[in-house]
Amino acid sequence: MRDGIAHRFSRHLVPALFSAEPPELSLLRFLFSIRSGTSLRTLLAITGGAQETRIVGGTHQTSERMGAEPGDRLRLNTVVRTIRQDENGVVVEYEYECGGVTRPGVDDRGHPVR
């Protein structure tokens, strides 16, 4: 940016709204966000604005916590066939490869999947 005022404006506004530095954000994305929020004033507002629903500590915590200790809840190299939910919980039917042989898996209650 060549305009000094615009440069200073973006240097403070972009990190506050987008948690990014100005070079990391396209002008199109910036303008789209302003239009989506009805106005820059709305985006900057705490109540009813974009800042109202920010996550303390950052949204990256979601993926970090999901990946922290999945234990046996995470199956790699597995093909999910169906997912069903009923009053007892969720049943995931999947197949996994074991020694070159594809075998059915078990649901989250430990029952073999057909």
- Residue 1 pLDDT: 46
pTM of the entire predicted model: 0.39
pLDDT at 94 (0 to 100): 82
Domain ranges of the chain: 4-55, 71-104
Residue given tokens 């169906």 in the structure block: 82
The pLDDT score that the predictor gives to residue 103 is: 58
Weakly modelled stretches of the chain, pLDDT under 50:
1
pLDDT tens digits, residue range 53-74?
Answer: 777 777 788 888 877 777 776 7
Check residue 112 and give its pLDDT.
63
Looking at residue 39, its amino acid is: S
Angle subtended by helix axes 27-36 and 4-18, to nearest 10: 60
Helices (H), 1-114: 4-18, 27-36, 40-44, 60-68
